[in-house]
Structure 1
Amino acid sequence: MVRYHNFDIVFAEIPDETTLAINITNCPNRCPGCHSPHLQRDGGERLDAEALQGLLDRYGRSVTCVCFMGGDAAPHEIARLAETVRRNCPALRTAWYSGRERLPEGFDLTRFDYIKLGPWIEALGPLTAPTTNQRLYRIAPDGTMSDITARFRRNR
Structure 2
Amino acid sequence: MRKIPGILIAILMLSISLASYGQSSEDDYALINVYRLKESMMSGGTGLTIKILFNDEEVCQLLTNTKLVYKLHSAGTIKVKCVAEFSGSGIGAPYVETFEFEKGKEYHISLAAGSMTGVKGESISDKKLKKIAQNKFADTIELEEKES
TM-score bracket relative to the smaller structure = under 0.3
Task: Name the structure, 1 or 2, with higher relative contact order (CA <8 Å, separation 6+).
Answer: 2
Question: So what's the TM-score if we normalise by structure 1?
Answer: 0.24
Structure with larger Rg: 2
The structure with the greater share of residues assigned to strand is 2
